[in-house]
Amino acid sequence: MKDRYTDAIQNRFTAYLQAAIANRKASYFGKRNRILAKEIVFEDQSYKSYLDFEIQYHGYQVEQSAFIVMDWERYEEFITTLESRGLFHALDGLKERHKKILFARLFGELTFREIGEKFGMTEKQAEAVYFYIITKLRKEMEGKRDEF
């Protein structure tokens, strides 16, 4: 019984590591070559193979990603373990400040006024920046979809 539990941990760790490796790889190529990075996005589907530990990992991931709701400031960890390569790329391309604003709004559920105070802007400016980020993300992800 004890052994089976340990195996589950090892499987989860392996899957966790594989997700991190895939993201790190994508980010590495992204930095080296932005054009090549766009091609990696659609490999998303072809990499899928349904091994036991991956199923375990999905359950684990849902369980583990709950922290972001409690504490949006851990957004870096959240981004690292994202399943969707496309979304990871779009987020990876954002400025640090913009990532913070996005997560503060989405998961921190701060109002635009609070965001404005936090980042030294007026309420209107915060709102404009937020919608700018959303538009940018959308453009980034759709742009890639249209290529293929």
Residues within the interface to other proteins (CB under 8 A): 5-7, 9-10, 12-14, 16-18, 20-21, 23-25, 28, 64, 77, 80
Pick 5 or 50: Cβ nearer other proteins: 5
Q: How far is the CB of 15 from other proteins (least distance, A)?
A: 11
Nearer to other proteins, 78 or 119 (CB): 78
Shortest Å distance, C-beta 20 to other proteins: 5
Q: What is the DSSP string of the chain?
A: -HHHHHHHHHHHHHHHHHHHHHHHHHHHHHHH-HHHHHHHGGGGTTT----HHHHHHHHHHHHHTTHHHH-GGGHHHHHHT-S-HHHHHHHHTS-HHHHHHHHHHHTS---HHHHHHHHT--HHHHHHHHHHHHHHHHHHHHHHHHH-
Pick between residue 23 and residue 116 the one whose CB is nearest to other proteins: 23
